[in-house]
Amino acid sequence: MAQIVFKRLTEIEKHELIDLMNHPLVRRQMPLLSGDFDETACDRFIAAKEKFWAEHGYGPWAFSIDGEFAGWGGVQPEYDIVDLALVLHPKFWGMGKVIYHKIIHFAFIQMGFPSVTILFPPTRTRVQGLTKLGFQEDGTTYVDNEKFVRYTLRNEQYI
């Protein structure tokens, strides 16, 4: 069984995050990611994510699988909701469900959030996996002038 470790983003090598965020298959799924994700962008990204930890007591992690950086994600405040993000290197896409369950356990059991939300761009039409997990379409929203379809999972649906 693979060893999955959650770390703070400050604990990984920046070049690993930069490589992930510039991977064409990853970028295709992230409409808010524009321009080159260079060291300056990486520093801003990490600072913003660490600010969530400082102000709210939770935020995204970096994921390590068997000692190798696999991606980042977790829960973070997004306006008045708790947003779940999961960004994995394509090499680790098969591990998404295992990592998701660890994140959702943290969100519902440890933090006691009433719900979590996932925002998908309208171009992501394959949502059967989300609905199998109990997420329900919950309208649309805009982030930085980009439209997203919102899917919500309520705590009582998970437990």
Residue 84 burial by Cβ neighbours in a 10 Å radius (0-12, 13-18, 19+): buried
Give the pLDDT confidence score for residue 159 in this predicted structure.
58
Give the pLDDT confidence score for residue 158 in this predicted structure.
67
Give the pLDDT confidence score for residue 84 in this predicted structure.
96
Per-residue pLDDT of the chain (159 residues; tens, 9 = 90+): 789 999 999 999 999 999 999 999 998 888 788 888 999 999 999 999 999 999 999 999 999 999 999 999 999 998 888 999 999 999 999 999 999 999 999 999 999 999 999 998 888 888 888 889 999 999 998 888 888 999 999 998 765
Task: Give, in degrees to the nearest 5, the angle at Cα 134 between 129 and 138.
Answer: 95
In sequence order, the β-bridge partners of residue 5 are 64
Q: Is the pTM of this model over 0.75?
A: yes
* Sign, CA torsion 39/15/116/130: positive
Give the pLDDT confidence score for residue 80 in this predicted structure.
83
> Structural domains in the chain?
4-113 (3.40.630.30)
